[in-house]
Amino acid sequence: MKGREPIAALTVYDYPMTRMLDGCGVPLLLVGDSLGMVVLGLPDTTGVTMDDMLHHTRAAARAQPNALLAADLPAGSCRTHADALANSRRLIEAGAEAVKAEGGLEIGEYVRAIVAEGIPFLGHLGMLPQRVKEEGGYKIKGRRPDERTMLIDDAAALADAGAFAIVLELVEPTVAGELTSALPIPTIGIGSGPDCDGQILVTPDLWATSPDFIPKHVQPNEQVKTEMESTIANWMNSIGKK
Ligand code: KIV
């Protein structure tokens, strides 16, 4: 799809959501570890476990989407080469058709091994939510020259290792545009400006139903949440509940 049409991607966490978004024709669905914040009530993604990811990947996969279904390798699941491979296999056994992990050069060898197993790999660069504690927050990457150089090297390493696309999260938009032009594989931006090959969002952010925080780069449709709330209020009224 690179250079031909924008790639729309959204997150899913369960069977009905996957059915609905697949029915809308979204070509790439991700069981993201944003699961932690938007479903499990955790403060960030660092507490999401392999078991959590497997449970929700199985549920999403039961929808048998036409979309490519990718799943996140959660924090701590790729500490060793063997873990990265074994956990990628487990996500595929659970029904994912591709895996995503955060990182660049430092995971290049894992990525090569995962791809050599026939498992499609989606990269993730820029702000890495699994490192939010070390980073001290969700900050834009690529403004400083050293960050820009690092992003270029990391993206080249992932493409060289066989990644089929790279998510760019909170990357300075001109740098995201540069990476998009330079790479042979698609970039999928989130808060990284319009010049990426595709865009991904955390779906409950778009629906305004994310409970605690909606990032600035999203224009949530508040009506979705309001409609859901009024449906509940109307139903309570209909049974005589004040
Ligand atoms: O976990 C997630 O939802 C993600 C997206 C933000 C790309 O990684």
pLDDT in tens, 114-155: 999 999 999 999 999 999 999 999 999 999 999 999 999 999
CA of 145 to the centre of ligand 1 (A): 25
Q: Which residues line ligand 1 (CB under 6 A)?
A: 11, 32-34, 72, 167, 169, 190, 200, 202
Nearest CA to ligand 1 atom 8: 32
Task: Out of 97, 109, 169, 172, pick the active-site residue.
Answer: 169
Query: What are the tokens at 133?
Result: 């504690």
Of 214, 105, 90, 91, give the one whose Cα is nearest residue 163: 105
Q: What is the pLDDT of residues 167-180, one digit of tens each?
A: 999 999 999 999 99
Percent of the chain with pLDDT over 90: 98
Overall average pLDDT of the 2-28 stretch: 98
pLDDT of residue 241: 78
Ligand 1 atom showing the smallest separation from residue 34 Cα: 1
pTM above 0.85, yes or no: yes
Told to judge if 169 belongs to the known catalytic residues of this protein, a careful annotator would answer yes
Nearest CA to ligand 1 atom 6: 202
pLDDT of residue 167: 98
User: Rounded mean pLDDT of the chain?
Assistant: 97
Q: In terms of DSSP H, where are the helices of 67-206?
A: 81-93, 108-116, 132-135, 145-161, 173-182, 203-206
Q: What is the pLDDT of residues 58-86, one digit of tens each?
A: 999 999 999 999 999 999 999 999 999 99
CA of 192 to the centre of ligand 1 (A): 13
